[in-house]
Amino acid sequence: MSKKTTQFKTLLNSDQTEFLMEAHDGISARIVEEAGFKGIWGSGLCISAAMGVRDNNEASWTQVLDVLEFMSDASGIPILLDADTGYGNFNNVRRLVRKLEQRGVAAMCIEDKLFPKTNSFIKGEQQPLADVDEFCGKIKAAKDTQHDADFCVVARVEALITGQGLAEALRRATAYRRAGADAILIHSKKSSPDEILAFMKEWRGNSPVVIVPTTYYTTPTSVFSEAGVSVIIWANHLMRASITAMQQAATLINRERSLEPVEHEIATVKEIFRLQNAGELDEAETRYLPGGNTAQGS
């Protein structure tokens, strides 16, 4: 068992509601950790967006793994990967689990849609769902493959997104729990939490529940805590914040033909060096280079 997988399993089964923040590269992962979050959501949407491609499995799963390796190296807290549909069938899922464990990723979330997936907020009601038995096979394959007993598989239920209702969501969630899922992520695109709260009332703590309140963000998190939600994910907010900041800075610099208007509104170059842990390299050069000669490392 690795430290990160144990941390995530503890977080998932905590007596209080825990929170994950989205990250999409090494530096955002470090920022999430420094902000005090106990875990990271490796957002498929945001990792794709950082590459400039759509959230339709246009980024290959090996490209996503490359990003995750940098994120894992840059942070000391567990990562829950948004692994879409598992990038294929049960066999792809088995290989994915092995590669995630090798990179120190603590958990993955797979959703019951078809590969290649489309983001849930793009015509979600028109998206077909996976066959329940086939998806259960993916969950079983993942659990049978893992070497680390604490590695977690979160099963994401899309029945509410597609408009199939509470009964279908509960049917699928129950099947996925019985197949071995460590938690259920129940997803909704409504602006109110009514669907989520109705699910929680019927679910009655059968296993941990994860939610993503992107569209019903005005609801106080205490409401979800009282309903028994285990983990709340802020799923895309660092990417969205960075897009706004970059658009504003780029527009202003282009308009003014000067850096002066933005220089005191953005991070310093020294802050970039700090987040890159440049100080550790200085110390290492002093320790390992003859006479502490940094020129050899330049």
Q: How many helices (H) and strands (E) does the chain have?
A: 13, 8
List the catalytic residue out of 15, 25, 55, 182: 55
CA distances from residue 49 to 23, 43, 79, 257, 273 in whole angstroms, order as listed: 11, 10, 18, 28, 24
Instruction: State the alpha helices, DSSP H only, in the chain.
Output: 3-12, 26-35, 44-51, 61-74, 90-102, 132-145, 165-179, 194-203, 221-227, 237-256, 260-263, 269-275, 278-288
Helix 237-256 to helix 44-51 angle (10° resolution) is 30
> Is 55 noted as a catalytic residue in this protein?
yes
Is residue 24 within 8 A of residue 239, CB to CB? The reply is: yes
Q: Kindly give, in sequence order, each residue whose CB lies less than 8 Å from that of residue 167, ignoring residues fewer than 6 positions away.
A: none
Radius of gyration of the chain (CA): 21
Q: Is 286 helix (H, G, I), strand (E, B) or coil?
A: helix
Tell me how far apart the alpha carbons of residues 200 and 204 are, in angstroms, rounded to a whole number: 6
> 68: closest CA among 29, 17, 15?
29
The set of catalytic residues is 55
